[in-house]
Every structure is written in C-alpha cells, then in structure tokens.
Amino acid sequence: MGGMELPKGLREGTVDWVTGNVQEWSSMLGHSSGENVEEVNKGVRKYLSETKEVQGAVVTLGVDGVVMHSPDGSSFPIPVPIKCSPVDPTGAGDCWRGAFGGGVARGMTNKDAARWGNAAAAVSTERVGAWTPGREEVEIRMRGGIGVRGGGGRGEFMGGFGSRLNSMKDRRELTEHGDDLVGWIRRMGECGGVDLIDFNSPQHVGEGTDLELVKREMDKAGLKAGAVCLRYPKTMIRGAMTNPDPELRSEAVRLTKDACRIAKVLGCTEVVVWSAYDGYDYTLACDYGDLWDRVVSGFKEVCDEHPDVKVSLEYKPTDENTRFFIVPSTGAALNLCRDVDRDNFGLTLDFGHCLMAGENPAQSAFMAAREGKLFGIQLNDGYSRLAAEDGMMFGSVHPLMALEFVLVLRQFNYQGHVYFDTFPHNEDPKLEAERNVEVFKRMWEWGREMEERGIEGAKRNMDVMKVMKIVDEVMYGKGG
C-alpha cells in the first residue's frame, strides 16, 4: 500500500495480507503522532479487529525485521536472521513482499515465509540500487542466522559487550565519579571494549527516572543501552508472576511491561527477566501446574503487548530467596518457550546458572540456539560450591568449558548481546570488565583457528585425543 488509501484489492476483497512500513501505516491510520512504532502496532491491531476480510497485516521495520499481526489480536515480531550491513535500502520493502509471497506459494508457514522475506530484504540492502537476490543467496543468509545449525560466515564477532552496572559501585577509592546512576554510567564508559549498558528495573530505571538524562549520559560515555533487566521488589517474596495473590501477579506483569516501554525509550529492544522469587522452598509447598500456568500466562500478556521487544527468561535453578525455581533448567526453559509460543520470547543463558544446574553450558547454548531461542548470554565463572553463585571472571575457573561455549556461539554465528555478569568486589571493576571482553575475543579467534585445524570433524568422530591436540596447539602453542 502507498499509505494514502486502502489498496484497491483490499476494497474488492481479494487481498489476504496488507503490508507497509511504519510511515505508510501511520499515514493510512491517520496518526498525527508521526512514525511511532508502538502506536502504529496498536492501530494495526485495532484495524484488524474491525476488518475481517484479510488474514493479517505486516509492519516492516527495516533492519529490525517485521511485526506480523493476526485478526485475533496476536502479534509476532520476526527479527532479521543475522545482522546486515545496509548500503542502500531502496526496494527492500518490495523485495520482502515478493519473497514473502513466494514463500507462502511454496508451502511455507506465514512465519517462515516472513523469515525468508527478512533474509531476502537484508541481502538486497547490501548493494547499491533496487535488486532481488537469488534463492541461493537467501538460503546462505538463512543458514547464517541464529538457531540454524551449520551457519556460514563465521568471521569477526560483530555483537556488543556489556558489563554489570552495579560493579561500578565497588572499589570507590579507584574512581572520582559519583556513587549514583550518573556516576556509574560515566565509570562504565571508561571500560575499554564495553559499548553496551544494561539497566536493572525498577532499581536503576523505573517510574520517575529521568530517562532523557540517562540517554544523554550514555551518549557522553559512548555507550548504548543493551537491555533492561527485571528485578522484582521484596514485596513479591511469595512470587512475582507466580504469586498466589492475583493483584501482586498483575503488578509483576505491569512492571515487566513497563520495562519493555523503558527499553524502547532508551533505544534497545531487549528485556531480560530474572525473578528471585518465582519458585518454592519446601516439598508439598505448591501446585506446580498453577505456578507454571501463571508464568506462561504472564509472559504471553507481556509479549503480546510489546511484540517489538525481545523478552527473555534468565533461569536460575536455585537462590537464597527461592530454593527451587519453577523453571530450574535449560530444558524446562525451552518447554516454557514452547508453551508461551511467541516469537519474541526466548532465553538469556547465564553461564554460572548452567553450572549451578549441573549442566554443561555449551550444551545448554546449543539446545537454545538450535531452537532459535538464544536471545542473549550472560558470562561469568565460578566454583559453584553449595549452590553458590561466584560471579568470577569469564574463563577463570572453567577455561575449556568457556572455550566450548564460545565454539557453540560460532557454530550458530551468534552476533548478539554479550553481557558479563560478574562480581569484582575486591578487584578493579574497570580492569575486570576489560579482561572479560579480551578473553571472549581471544576465545572467538581461537575458535576460528581450531575450526581451520579440523576440530569440528574430530568432535563428530568423538576423537577426544585429536580435539585435545588441536586445543593444545592453539591455546598453548604446543606441537603447532
């Protein structure tokens, strides 16, 4: 559609899908607020509720992919499978529509056809002029996407690095910056290699926070918002989304929705939910089905209201506040993803939490990535004694497990958000953050060298001695 009026085919009842970018939809819906993505998505949902002739509507968002809307009010954000380097966006929308229609005609589901369209449109922007890529080029791009095994193009890591903001409170004698949010942002800006900053909500950013001030300080520090992370208040000690009190459950959902709103104001589209309280302490203390259903219902409501935000669960098997988390493992978390059944709901895997659960973090990452649900990672290390969360530097305790974790990220060409959730209470937090970034980059490069030496084939043959020989050659320079 051109944005000024409904397409002729729609008026005649021969159109199945209506697509347009934010500007076109804003114009057609008569919005005076300009190109506001959230308002446009609300308007599209209202439009579909009143228009029964079509299967659905699509809002195209450029490098952020598309949002698909159905007449039943559900919305599904479909991200671009892998970051692209746009040179000329001319004709990208037309390319998407052609690829989407072609995918549907070939028997794809609507969501898979939208993903195919995203990949085609992304490739089309990487050359000057309007053009349509061939099927082989689109297939290569699809294979390089997160969650598609055997992806190609494993080059330099192009994602972003963030580090724990609360670490900037430690070792106050090493900084002249204030012990407040502005001071912590400024101190974080001095950490070499760190370009993202994650905020806890509502502790760092919440109702009453001057978000424009926060944005100005980030800009001065050369940082961008990476994610907003939920930290539910102590009043929810009996549960946040699982609380037996429906009013407190509603408040938990409201806080999560508010975090989504704040994330968009700050310029990011990731919200990470870790709850210290959604679980139980004693045998016979709860109805497991009730708790599970409440979590599913809560996340569905959040994801449906903010389809343009990637909402992820950061599971933790146990905590001093909750001895048994209702989602205690990667497998359980993936079951939750299936039950929530929203494209914008996934997982953020914490390396230390996987260790606490008795898991191999690399295998956990593989499981999540294979399902297309690895939205984010939080890296650290620890001894995990008596279910303790040590929050030590990445690769400092389990270097080979850390290396294998990075190898899995390379296998799926992960180019997302890398956050270091560490607790440098006794160390210089600036130097500690810089080391974490350097270790990850070094392991990423080691991964490339090991792949060239045949480590993947050795793993497929379960030839541990050859694997160790390659590791020794690359990491220690032995026998190379």
For the chain, the domains span: 8-143, 160-442
User: In the chain, which residues have pLDDT < 50?
Assistant: 144-153
Residue 153 confidence (pLDDT): 46
Q: What residues are paired with 161 via a beta bridge?
A: 418
Range 8-143: architecture per CATH: 3-Layer(aba) Sandwich (3.40)
Residue 150 confidence (pLDDT): 35
Whole-angstrom distance, CA of residue 172 vs CA of residue 64 = 39
Q: If you write DSSP's letter for every residue of 234-249 in order, what string do you get?
A: GGGTT-STT-SSHHHH
Strands 66-69 and 75-78: antiparallel
Determine contact, residues 58/67, Cβ cutoff 8 Å. Answer: yes
H or E, element range at 349? strand 345-350
Residue 145 confidence (pLDDT): 44
Q: What is the DSSP letter of 61?
A: -
Phi-psi region of 58 (alpha: psi -120 to 50; beta: other; left: phi over 0): beta
Whole-angstrom distance, CA of residue 314 vs CA of residue 417 = 14
The CA-CA-CA angle for residues 401, 406, 410, to 5°, reads: 145
Q: If you write DSSP's letter for every residue of 355-381 in order, what string do you get?
A: HHTT--HHHHHHHHHHTT-EEEEEE-B
CATH superfamily ID and name for 160-442: Divalent-metal-dependent TIM barrel enzymes (3.20.20.150)
Residue 53 confidence (pLDDT): 73
Whole-angstrom distance, CA of residue 71 vs CA of residue 79 = 21
Whole-angstrom distance, CA of residue 132 vs CA of residue 27 = 27
* pTM assigned to the model: 0.73
Whole-angstrom distance, CA of residue 334 vs CA of residue 324 = 17
Q: Which of 394, 402, 413, 410 is nearest to 455 (CA)?
A: 410
Compute CA 375 distance to the chain's CA centroid, rounded to the nearest angstrom: 3
Residue 98 in tokens:
């052609």
